[in-house]
Amino acid sequence: MPVPGRSGSSRALSGGAAAMPGRGRRGRGRAAGPQQSPAPAPAPAPAPAPAPGCALGPARFCPQCGRGVEAAFRFCPACGERQPPAPGEAAAAAPAPWQARSPAAGPGSGSSSPSGASRPPPPRSPSLSPAAKRGSFSPRKPRAVAAVPFPEAEVLEDHGKRRWRLGRLLEHGGPGLMYEAQSASGACPQKQRFSLKLDAKDGKIYNEQNFFQRAAKKDTVDKWKKLHSLPLLGIPNCVGFGLHADKYRFLVFSDLGRTLHSILNDGVRLNEKAAFQIVVRLLDCLEYLHENEYVHGDITAENIYVNPEDLTQVTLAGYCFAFRYCPGGKHVAQREGSRTPHEGTIEFISLDSHRGAGPSRRSDLESLGYCLLKWLCGFLPWSHDLKNVEAVVEKKEKYKADVTCLLRQCFMGQRAIPDALQRYLQQVMALEYEEKPNYEFLRQLFKKPLEKMKASAYDSVAITIVP
Q: What DSSP designation does 322 have?
A: -
The values of phi and psi at residue 123, to 5°, are -70, 145
375: Cα within 13 Å, side-chain hemisphere: 29
Task: Name the nearest CA neighbour of 152 among 122, 193, 109.
Answer: 109
Q: Which residues pair with 395 in a beta bridge?
A: none
Q: Exposed (0-12), middle (13-18) or buried (19+): which is 69, by Cβ within 10 Å?
A: buried
Asked if 314 and 305 touch (Cβ cutoff 8 Å), the reply is yes
> Distances from the Cα of 429 to the Cαs of 86, 290, 462, in angstroms?
37, 18, 28
> Distances from the Cα of 442 to the Cαs of 83, 246, 298, 317, 424, in angstroms?
36, 45, 20, 21, 6
The span from the CA of 395 to the CA of 409, in Å, is 12
The values of phi and psi at residue 51, to 5°, are -65, 135
- Angle, nearest 10°, between helix axes 419-429 and 439-452? 170
- H-helix or E-strand spanning residue 314: strand 310-316
The one-letter amino acid at 78: A
- Among residues 199, 202, 298, 352, the one annotated as catalytic is 298
Residues in contact with 247: Cβ distance below 8 Å, sequence separation at least 6, in sequence order: 95, 97, 98, 145, 200, 201
Residues in contact with 154: Cβ distance below 8 Å, sequence separation at least 6, in sequence order: 165, 166
Task: Name the nearest CA neighbour of 394 among 378, 381, 377, 405.
Answer: 381
Report how far apart the first and last C-alpha atoms of the chain are (Å, whole number): 48
The one-letter amino acid at 364: D
Asked if 114 and 106 touch (Cβ cutoff 8 Å), the reply is no
Known active-site residue 298: yes
Q: Exposed (0-12), middle (13-18) or buried (19+): which is 291, by Cβ within 10 Å?
A: middle
CA 87 to chain centre: 22
Asked if 448 and 275 touch (Cβ cutoff 8 Å), the reply is no
The span from the CA of 33 to the CA of 445, in Å, is 72
Which residues belong to the active site? 298
